[in-house]
A and B are shown apart, each in its own frame.
Chain A
């Protein structure tokens, strides 16, 4: 069974979703929770059976899909994708368990299970077309979640989300086809297998163009400045579950794809574009932090702060060294946990008051102490307080980029500290002071279902902040392999020197 565990992880939720059409709608929640829990246990089993000392792909599966055009069903995980897969199944489980939506709940759970299939598929696929299939397919469930269960502007928001991402990924598809064509020219065989593409060394000018084509697809998904405009709408209109999954998992597809595709396929172009991308990332960090400060809606604050932190992930990725990339992968997990939790927390208060405006709140700490405590911890984690999960990722990402540029890292670091201001200000407005509104006086504190979702997240946020090693080590191993591959593939001396070699000292020992 372990040979096919990835296929099972991908298709079990989809199969369950199809069978779910028959389940009665009153029992659908229980069904959804059971399916998602089984899936989560399976993903934990994957972690348990995962050999952390191996840097390459594990649990690989291969079957020919369209041999005439070199497309195959190729799956595998390494340390980079493993934890994102676990996080995806974890959040689907939490999301369904804490679901407060009652309207058309059966449709919602079926949609979520389909979404889960596509999410895990994206992170497990090692064939470019297979990756693209899941990548595109993930748009449909999210479109429906925002468009059916969203706020008043939901249709505009969902269509904007769909078209933006669809357009970007079609450019990426052309890039993939070019990549396959160059592979065909070099070897006489069509192939979309990522592992075979890794072996291909492309001339620099071709790398530049392909990097740009892939960049469009990924940058829109992340979303990087200036392609981020769909995200505030999507978050603003999406129901809580939609925002949680979007922030925790879907956005990670973009940053994950940078590490999986852009860096190892185009090392010279990555070096060439390192500063432009880093500048975009820093603009993203500073600009969205400022925008977040100006928001009146607490969910928009969380949404913009989430974009801001995605900037740190991109910055870490484009440090192009082990520390930076490891940090950015770790920060992907951390960002998922923290922003997912924050969106859940916003959902809690929205369910009670049906408003997200901060001016409507104030003094919530008096009436909802437990809620205020958890919110406080998560907010501290979000601003990167040491001993919380985000700190580890942010520190490593910045450390990585510090080796490339002191100035820019300082700028980004300052921005993160300044970022604390808007979060603290938002927290102060909503939680401290006197209870000014009559409606807020009798608000109920978090109930058991909500705690069920929030407590595990809080524990993880602190546990991995204090002791990140179990997660950091497998990531580090796989990232070292990626960086080494990049170093070996780089053509220009500039790229060779920018991307450090891991085995340098080992070869010296051999002499």
Chain B
């Protein structure tokens, strides 16, 4: 006979669940509103999503306050884990989402935004990512990952172009494979240690001195491969350019930021103990992956003819760059990861939004894709302000000082230096130089070539809210260096107090 299980509500620590719940409630509310009265305008749903995201952010900030006062919070039988990493990642996720969602307010009508379901899926996805970062339980991480991914696939397909279907199916197939690898890897680690919680796995493995090395290898490699799919690390990146090309520029920009920060946090939790375990080959695998991702993605980006594909490869390269923080594994490096990604998200969102506002519904004659380089030829002469803004985002992404991303690069390379990774620091620096070439290519097209298409409108899709987002991204790219010091202190405090 089963004994009655007595669980007090206080021991569940419901507060740990509040931020995700808000997102889920928001998503359900949107569906309910659509049931009651259909045909409402997208601006309503955008604003509702915005409001729920604001509440979500408020709740995250609340848990940040709790963390600052009382340290890491556990809830629901230690399944939920609200530590500094979880809070920082959630802040990045929610803020980036808040900057993304107004991009639906285009002046041209696009298919996906006419469905309320798009916004419901969007909020479900955010809840999924929040679960993913707020746990060190491999099962909850898996559930969060799949919730988010399954919401993201239809969002891509809703763009309703043949390339979007291709992108969604491709992403789904690759995602399913990654999910399989994740499940398999977790299973192996569970079989070895009898636990699905990362810190217990670490404890058991350390206690028996990594005796079953072969199994640890299998489990780790499977898990690494599944993260690598999500983080688009070479050689698991092949879906990235196609999926980015198929999705709308706005969604592509979003995908290059939010899913990856969630992936980084999970990778950080797992590799934190693996890297420090003293097992050499683990470090070697990760080292090789980081270097190959950075370098190869840069080289591929050079030969792209479409700006969006170029940005896709560049985001792969940035992911490799940031993954080096997981490899270095010091507090400074982990702080650098969040700093870099927060700064990167502004510039990247700005660049993708610039593409998004120039997205015409019908391709001009002789134009093979949405955003070929030729489209921007001579842009400075026809629309100087947009060209200057675009150049600003390109220079920021290239890591040119004093623009925002440079400080992230500086801090991360600094972490590599103080972590003793001299060669890695040099490789990171030289890769920045290679990356300079393809960012420069767009600037060359915009400023130094003559206009090709008369009457090319680079603001065809613009609306006030889109312009506001671009303006925000631009101001952030230029002036964020003033905020870098408080950011380092804030992030550093949270990372350090979480034990990373």
CB neighbours (8 Å) of A181 from chain B are 414, 417-418
Partner of A174, one of B402, B413, B447: B413
CB neighbours (8 Å) of A180 from chain B are 414
The contact size tier of chain B is: 20 to 34
Please state if A174 and B410 are interface contacts (CB–CB under 8 Å). Answer: no
Closest residue of B by beta carbon distance from A21? B384
A68-B489 contact in complex given A136-B400, A137-B402, A140-B400, C-beta closer than 8 Å: yes
Please state if B401 and A65 are interface contacts (CB–CB under 8 Å). Answer: no
Smallest CB separation, B100 vs chain A (Å):
28
Closest residue of B by beta carbon distance from A64? B485
CB neighbours (8 Å) of A143 from chain B are 440, 443
Please state if B447 and A147 are interface contacts (CB–CB under 8 Å). Answer: yes
A173-B488 contact in complex given A147-B447, A155-B448, A159-B444, C-beta closer than 8 Å: no
B residues 474-500 in Cβ contact with A at 8 Å:
481, 484-485, 488-489, 492
Is A471's beta carbon under 8 Å from chain B? no
Is B66's beta carbon under 8 Å from chain A? no
A residues 150-190 in Cβ contact with B at 8 Å:
154-155, 158-159, 162-163, 166-167, 170-171, 173-174, 177-178, 180-181, 184
A174-B426 contact in complex given A68-B489, A159-B444, A166-B436, C-beta closer than 8 Å: yes
A137-B440 contact in complex given A64-B485, A163-B433, A177-B425, C-beta closer than 8 Å: no
Which of B395, B430, B436 lies at the interface centre, i.e. has the most chain A CB atoms within 10 A of its CB?
B436
Inter-chain CA distance A162–B443, complex, in Å, is 12
Main secondary structure of the interface of A (DSSP, over half): helix
Closest residue of A by beta carbon distance from B436? A166
CB neighbours (8 Å) of B411 from chain A are 69
Smallest CB separation, B191 vs chain A (Å):
43
Closest residue of A by beta carbon distance from B491? A68
A170-B488 contact in complex given A136-B400, A148-B447, A154-B448, C-beta closer than 8 Å: no
Please state if B485 and A129 are interface contacts (CB–CB under 8 Å). Answer: no
Is B95's beta carbon under 8 Å from chain A? no
Please state if A140 and B485 are interface contacts (CB–CB under 8 Å). Answer: no
Is B52's beta carbon under 8 Å from chain A? no
Smallest CB separation, A256 vs chain B (Å):
19
Inter-chain CA distance A64–B485, complex, in Å, is 9
Please state if A147 and B444 are interface contacts (CB–CB under 8 Å). Answer: yes
Is A132's beta carbon under 8 Å from chain B? yes
* Interface residues as binary, A476-504 with B (CB distance below 8 Å gives 1, 0 otherwise): 00000000000000000000000000000
Is B407's beta carbon under 8 Å from chain A? yes
Please state if B440 and A162 are interface contacts (CB–CB under 8 Å). Answer: yes
The contact size tier of chain A is: 20 to 34
* Interface residues as binary, B140-177 with A (CB distance below 8 Å gives 1, 0 otherwise): 00000000000000000000000000000000000000
Please state if A67 and B444 are interface contacts (CB–CB under 8 Å). Answer: no
Partner of A69, one of B401, B414, B429, B432: B414
Inter-chain CA distance A133–B436, complex, in Å, is 16
Is A1's beta carbon under 8 Å from chain B? no
Smallest CB separation, A268 vs chain B (Å):
20
Closest residue of B by beta carbon distance from A185? B418
Closest residue of A by beta carbon distance from B388? A21
Is A510's beta carbon under 8 Å from chain B? no
Please state if A137 and B418 are interface contacts (CB–CB under 8 Å). Answer: no
Please state if B426 and A171 are interface contacts (CB–CB under 8 Å). Answer: yes
CB neighbours (8 Å) of B402 from chain A are 133, 137
Please state if A144 and B400 are interface contacts (CB–CB under 8 Å). Answer: no
Q: Using A163-B436, A174-B426, A177-B414 as known contacts, list a sample of 20 further A-B pairs with CB atoms less than 8 Å apart, ordered by residue number in A.
A: A64-B485, A66-B407, A66-B485, A66-B488, A68-B488, A69-B410, A69-B411, A129-B410, A140-B400, A143-B440, A158-B444, A159-B440, A159-B444, A170-B432, A171-B426, A177-B417, A177-B425, A180-B414, A181-B414, A184-B418
User: Can you name 6 A-B residue pairings with CB atoms under 8 Å?
Assistant: A65-B481, A65-B485, A133-B406, A159-B440, A163-B436, A170-B433
